[in-house]
Structure 1
Amino acid sequence: MNWLRLVPVIVLFGLAGVLALTLLTRSDSGQTDRLIGERVPDFELDALDGHPGFTPSGLTGQPYLLNVWGSWCPPCEVEHPVLVDLAQAGVPIYGIAWRDSDDNANAFLARMGNPFSGIVLDPFGAAVIELGVTGAPETFVVGADGVIRARWAGPLTDDVVRRAILPAFEDGR
């Protein structure tokens, strides 16, 4: 019967070990770094109506940010002014409008501003799945060679941009 008293302690230590292992294998943003150091998976999606599209294979030669967003996403709205500031500072940003429609995405951009050099629609998540994205927003820093340098899950803030995004962007030149 005394061993029954040890079961909760053993379970607690087991959970603590799993949590520690999980935290040690994740990046600052909480996402695994499986794609860091790999080329951006190539995809072909339709351009958002009225905007230029893009394919990752066509973007080599300069570093850029790849941002997964949606007009339905409150954290994307919070992040958006940071993206606009980055674009105004000359950082090329390409957007994937995830689970969105032309009308809703265009209304969002008309209201919030358009920081994107190119935008594609991913209504069913084909490219987003290849990128391993589980939620929006998520941003990838891609080097001039097409290799992913950094990844950030969640809304970008000025602090995140200064601490994580811009250094990786400069390294990708």
Structure 2
Amino acid sequence: MDGLRVVPTADGSSTLYSERFKATYHSVNGALTESMHVFIKSGFEAILLNKKNVDVLEIGMGTCLNAALTGWVAQMHGVKVHYTGIELFPPTGEVLNSTGYHAVLELECAKLWEKIVAASAIEPVPVSTWFTVSKLYVDFIGWNPNHMYDLVYFDAFAPDDQPEMWSIE
């Protein structure tokens, strides 16, 4: 599976372990719990006041879990999201489906996740009335954004595992 294997986490969800980086994509204490706490509660929901449109950039899109949760919460709040996810080493659909997220997420969130996983990386894809995803399979270090984002999910591996993502340069 491309040097990736599924690892169970303490909250009943799973994550991927990367042989390349010798690291998991999410916390082994709970992939779903981590995504909800760090990216949704402390990030997305924290900026929603008086916003009807939000541009989100995720650096390290990985399993698409943060994207699906963002789309699901956006729908609940009636906020339109354009989500740009950057991933240099995207897991295959087969690998992503092996995580079992479709079975642990709320039904509507699981449907979004499946659409996000299946979305093309060629152009932006509207996966719901509230959520459009753009996947960029590029190296973030050499990438130049073409507009401003309201929120950035910096979801790279830890500095010890991926130091080039954490330097000033």
The structure whose RCO (Cα within 8 Å, separation 6+) is larger is 1
Same topology, TM > 0.5: no
More strand by share: 2
TM-score, structure 1 normalization: 0.29
Q: TM-score, normalised by structure 2?
A: 0.30
